[in-house]
Structure 1
Amino acid sequence: MRGIIMLLCINMAGMASPVLAQPGADDASAWVRFDARRDTGADAQGLADRTTGRTLRPDDPVRIASISKLAVAMAVMRLVERDVLDLDRDVSAVLGWRLRNPAYPEAPITLRQLLSHTAGVRDGIDYGLPLDADLERTMQDGAAWDGRYAPGHYFTYSNLNFPIVAAVMEAATGERFDRIMQRELFGPLRIDACFNWTTCTQRAIRRAVVLYRPDGSVARDDLRGAMPPCPVVPAQDGGCDLASYRLGRQGAAFSPQGGMRISARGLARLGRVLAGRHAGFLKAESLAEMVRPQWRYDGTNGDTEQGLHCAYGLAVMILAMPGRPAACRDDPFGDGRLRIGHSGEAYSLRSGLWVDPVTGKGVAFYATALPADTPNGRSAFRAVSEAMIAKAR
């Protein structure tokens, strides 16, 4: 396997310990180490673009996958602070159409449930909706819901929650999701980042990290220095007229579940926000609500994905929480310290943003061109993620 390869060796005590093999010349990975005030270390290896031979840098933007969800939650909390949104209001009242689990038609769905993956939404349908899709009609499909548990009672990680969150944001503000994220998050934090490239600068587009599959084929973002001709899933007739996009009715176009393009340095800045070290961006009580466990695994109340998810806030993964069941294997650091953040996995990329809330220290990283069957490490996380963490610490 090319790329960052995780080799396991056995030490004299019989414990598996990670050894990071040297990356191949074409592979790309980056990490940034940071504390409460600044970046304290950074490195990047490999090529951002194999065609041109452009070398990767820590400030080059990449499609970072599910860490995008954490960024969306930060913007949601900004809107909550201004009373534009309410975490516990029935989102149907904001959307202007009825969102219900067909098995529980009287149970309201809230932003708190959607952000914490407890709304009963499931990835039983394709959440990469075409431009002309209607989210109301889409969510009437029973395959998009769990019929066994009422909203608020069971955790299952689901990407489809976030197109709904994006639609709620749009309906409440009268603004398109990608522009909301620019106004509420990237602009105030001075991060040249975006969703599906629409609000990134030309400089960021020129520095895009091309995502490759292990066989060398392009998975995403071979931009050649230009905005993609259609940054969203085209309409069913092949058209791509963004002027036809309907606020609060589609939600998925800008990939709120995983389509954020951001650099490792930009992630580090989000990490400082999460640690409460960016004064004035979010109130202390808003951050406290984000990182507070909205759900904790008790042995029966959720799908942990083999011990990966054991505590979850508002789009915040909580690792190594004291008192968790023995089945939990959510400590890729291996030191038993509680950390907050999010992981990402899509298009042959693995990523992570993790912060120690006590010290304010953290790491942000990603590695590319990895096979789908990249092995797990000592924890429920991929071995390559454990290796990147070890390298960045």
Structure 2
Amino acid sequence: MARAVLAILLALTAGCANPPRPAPPSTAPAYVWVTFDESTLLNSGASGLADRRTGRPLTIDDPVRIASISKLVVALGAMRLVEQGVLDLDRDVSDWLGWRLRNPAFPDDPITLRLLLSHTSSLRDGIDYAIPLGGSVREALSDPAAFDAEHRPGGYFTYSNLNFPVIASIIESATGERFDRLMEQLVLDPLGLDACFNWTTCSDGAIDRAVVLYDTDDSVLRDDLGGEWPDCPVVPAADGSCDLGGYKPGTNGALFSPQGGLRISARDLATVGRLLLNRGTHGGEPFLSETSINQLLEPAWRFDGANGDTGDGFYCAYGLASQSLPVANPGCRDDIFGDGTAVVGHAGDAYGLRSGLWIDRRSGTGIAYFATGNGDDPPRGKSAYRAIEEWLAGRLGR
């Protein structure tokens, strides 16, 4: 009896020291993670299936709809255009859009690219930001529900996906190029990433390796491609048509989901992380200046107790499409690692996926991960993050 009790106690103690891995994907999420430093991958792990119908295992090379980490990648492209003199962080974006973008409650306050990237523009997700083919961002933003009537641009943080269709429209208007193709030219190809927005520019191999996103009842939410290109990579027009041939760049930057529609693997996410760790160089070649990287990663906004909506302590310091954490201010619950170590990057949450890309600039290491099949409300962790996110972040093992 004593031996049996001792065995049970030892098992419980071991469980506390080394949290158990999530159950197989039949009952819990599939997941993948990679750790890296400035030059290479350090370690990786994967569990579960990328495609339950075929039984294809999930690997670190399989692209998934990575959700809001997409915003950080969009910001890399925007900053390259800033360095080229095509865009300016602090100029009224109306100059590129060709129409006057204003919060109706504050008609004299210009909205800039810096405010859009930092979620301090006063735009709000009070309307549907998935604007169909044939629609326009200008028309969508004619609805006052798209704006915060109580807080003027620049004075208050609220995370809003709608900022990024506007940013994509600005990028298109300034260059005359379609957003998905421009991101391929500016970011994805130069970094050697087999990634794309809404599948339009990915390789055939990436299509074959697509990660299917499932709900908790095993129904498909997104990307059950079966090795075939999607019939319509954007939200179709009201009549169901999907002819992109007549699309005019600059009218509807929402088409290719700049707020969350990047398809990318964990391995390629690590490449993005290494770019940040290396202060803007990739493979020894300059991609962005260190000044631009610092502007991306250093907080443009920090919660002071009254100047923003933290999302129950989730957002407490935000740069240009990047999160900084943890913040020790009251009301902040953003310590995903649980040890107070400062990291920067971005989290993602959509269609049952939870994702993260975090770098520790002091140690020169980082982690990229995602887990699928979590549903809308997976078990909560000790912080504002969910338990699966905390467990995966902990694979960095600093």
When the two structures are superposed, what TM-score results if normalisation uses the length of structure 1?
Answer: 0.94
Could you tell me whether the CA contact under 8 Å between 1:277 and 1:360 is conserved in 2? no
Q: 2:340 aligns with which of 336, 357, 360?
A: 336
* CA 1:46–1:262: 2 relative to 1, 3 Å: same
What does 1:133-172 align with in structure 2 at a 5 Å threshold?
133-172=135-174
* CA 1:24–1:95: 2 relative to 1, 3 Å: closer
Question: Is 1:379 matched up with 2:380?
Answer: no
Question: Is 1:76 matched up with 2:78?
Answer: yes
Structure 1 match to 2:372: 368
Q: 1:248 aligns with which of 243, 247, 250?
A: 250
CA–CA distance in 2 between the matches of 1:208 and 1:88?
A: 38
Q: 2:331 aligns with which of 327, 331, 334?
A: 327
Structure 1 match to 2:129: 127
Structure 1 match to 2:49: 47
Could you tell me whether the CA contact under 8 Å between 2:279 and 2:289 is conserved in 1? no
CA–CA distance in 1 between the matches of 2:167 and 2:89?
A: 11
Range with bigger deviation, 208-217 or 326-335: 326-335
Q: 1:263 aligns with which of 257, 262, 265?
A: 265
CA–CA distance in 2 between the matches of 1:351 and 1:52?
A: 24
Could you tell me whether the CA contact under 8 Å between 2:97 and 2:250 is conserved in 1? yes
Structure 1 counterpart SS, 2:189: helix
Structure 2 counterpart SS, 1:68: helix
Give, in angstroms, the shift of residue 109 of structure 1: 0.6
Give, in angstroms, the shift of residue 327 of structure 1: 1.5
Could you tell me whether the CA contact under 8 Å between 2:326 and 2:340 is conserved in 1? yes
CA–CA distance in 1 between the matches of 2:172 and 2:306?
A: 35
Give, in angstroms, the shift of residue 18 of structure 1: 4.9
- Residue by residue over 1:53-101, the C-alpha shift from the partner in whole angstroms, topping out at 9 and shown as x without a partner, is 1111101100000000000001111111110110001000011111111
Give, in angstroms, the shift of residue 22 of structure 1: 2.7
Question: Is 1:65 matched up with 2:67?
Answer: yes
Aligned partner letter, 2:309? D
- Residue by residue over 1:1-32, the C-alpha shift from the partner in whole angstroms, topping out at 9 and shown as x without a partner, is xxxxxxxxxx99xx999543332358521100
Question: Is 1:390 matched up with 2:391?
Answer: no
Structure 1 counterpart SS, 2:77: helix
- Aligned-pair identity (%): 56
Structure 2 counterpart SS, 1:189: coil
Could you tell me whether the CA contact under 8 Å between 1:31 and 1:392 is conserved in 2? no
Q: 2:32 aligns with which of 27, 30, 46?
A: 30
CA–CA distance in 1 between the matches of 2:365 and 2:18?
A: 23
CA–CA distance in 2 between the matches of 1:276 and 1:151?
A: 33
Give, in angstroms, the shift of residue 159 of structure 1: 0.3
CA–CA distance in 1 between the matches of 2:291 and 2:310?
A: 28
What does 1:79-228 align with in structure 2 at a 5 Å threshold?
79-228=81-230
Structure 1 match to 2:294: 288
CA–CA distance in 2 between the matches of 1:389 and 1:293?
A: 21
CA–CA distance in 2 between the matches of 1:53 and 1:309?
A: 37
Structure 1 counterpart SS, 2:363: coil
Give the ranges of 4+ consecutive aligned residues of structure 1 lying more than 3 Å apart after TM superposition. Answer: 15-21, 24-27
* CA 1:42–1:69: 2 relative to 1, 3 Å: same
Aligned partner letter, 1:351? S
CA–CA distance in 1 between the matches of 2:313 and 2:48?
A: 32
Give, in angstroms, the shift of residue 237 of structure 1: 1.1
Could you tell me whether the CA contact under 8 Å between 1:318 and 1:341 is conserved in 2? yes
Structure 2 counterpart SS, 1:31: strand
Could you tell me whether the CA contact under 8 Å between 1:25 and 1:47 is conserved in 2? no
Structure 1 match to 2:305: 299
Aligned partner letter, 1:368? T
CA–CA distance in 2 between the matches of 1:103 and 1:182?
A: 37
Range with bigger deviation, 370-379 or 53-62: 370-379
Give, in angstroms, the shift of residue 234 of structure 1: 0.2
Give, in angstroms, the shift of residue 277 of structure 1: 5.0
CA–CA distance in 1 between the matches of 2:82 and 2:276?
A: 16
Give, in angstroms, the shift of residue 210 of structure 1: 0.6
CA–CA distance in 2 between the matches of 1:308 and 1:343?
A: 10
CA–CA distance in 1 between the matches of 2:227 and 2:178?
A: 25
List runs of 5+ in structure 1 lacking aligned partners: 1-10
Range with bigger deviation, 79-88 or 15-24: 15-24
Aligned partner letter, 1:74? L
Structure 2 counterpart SS, 1:376: coil
Give, in angstroms, the shift of residue 245 of structure 1: 1.7
Larger radius of gyration: 2
Structure 2 counterpart SS, 1:20: coil
**Root-mean-square deviation (Å):** 1.6
When the two structures are superposed, what TM-score results if normalisation uses the length of structure 2?
Answer: 0.92
Could you tell me whether the CA contact under 8 Å between 2:196 and 2:262 is conserved in 1? yes
